[in-house]
Amino acid sequence: MINKKYLPSKNFLIALSITVVIIVIVIIFDSLQNNQGVYKNQGLAKGTSTTVAQINIDSDNDGLPDWKEALYGTDPHNPDTDGDGTNDGDEVAQGRDPLKPNTAPKGQEPNDKIDPKIIEQNEKIVNTFESLSDTDKFSRSLISDVIAAAPQDGALDENKTNSIITNALQRIPLKNYVGTTTINNLNLQKTDSTNLIKNMSDYSKSYFKETEKFRLIFGKDIALIISYISPNSTSTDKDVLAIINQYQTIVNNLIKMPVPVAIGYYDISYHLAIINDLEKIISMDKDMVGMKKGSVLSIFPSLSIYNTVTKDLSDNLSIVDSILKIQR
């Protein structure tokens, strides 16, 4: 059971997650609104420049991924957009225009050759994609997904779009964070019946002092980080780094403090777990604050793990409080 004394409230963590989701969705929908006409029936074959992500979804199985369908202005739901009997993927591979029907008699050279400048322009767009921010790549990938999912009349259903966004967020790979402290790093104190009461009392006081410091600042880091990386924010990283430094000081003190080894009375693994959870949070905070300002999407993997680690940390803190009979 999570001890709410330690964690920011559940509503607080949910609010943080929702805040980030809203920021990303706003970015995405701004992009969709700005480019909807460009991506739908106004492809590069008509001289329109656009940028989409290089993904491999091929909704109509014509050999032309949906992101290329958007580049060439073809229909991702129709394998032969121009209806001349050759699918879009084959036409592009042969240097033909998938929007222009071939009217040459059978056996003769097709007369629907595509302008080489269009191919060159499309290749340039694909190469430029790699220099985009993670958020821009994500939004453009979503644009391609939305195009593929849109009905034939071109209308974008908001519920369907939200579903696509949610599924895309769930596919973002998570990073593995681990603590670096081992039991050999702890200041273990031999304890027996002659010194058990004193050693446990001293440890309880030291443990309470450090964890109380932590409890008073817990959650401020992630709130500051979200503010810092949000687009158009004027926040700096100094306040976040100050919280990180405080966390690190607490970790150092937990490592140095004498921890009684009392068989059958206190399991030091909980003390070690608290340290490792704090180290994970510090690593996540450093990663998030080190992200390029405005690259909002990058916070999702760390934010997801942050919530999991804080729950585990809260559980471990509660267990030790219970063992030591500490009342906050």
Encode pLDDT of 94-112 as tens digits: 999 999 999 999 889 999 9
**Is pLDDT at 77 greater than 70 in this prediction?**
yes
Backbone CA torsion sign across 10, 15, 21, 25? positive
**Is pLDDT at 29 greater than 60 in this prediction?**
no
Among 99-103, 107-111, 250-254, 261-265, top mean pLDDT goes to 250-254
Task: Give the Cβ contact number of residue 187 at 10 Å.
Answer: 10
> What is the pLDDT, as a whole number, of residue 118?
84
Residue 125 confidence class, pLDDT cut points 50, 70, 90: confident
Residue 141 confidence class, pLDDT cut points 50, 70, 90: low
Residues 116, 96: contact at Cβ < 8 Å? no
> What is the pLDDT, as a whole number, of residue 282?
94
pLDDT tens readout for residues 30-45: 443 443 333 333 333 3
Query: pTM of the full predicted structure?
Result: 0.59
**Domain boundaries defined on the chain:** 40-170, 175-324
How far is it, in rounded angstroms, from Cα 237 to Cα 41? 44
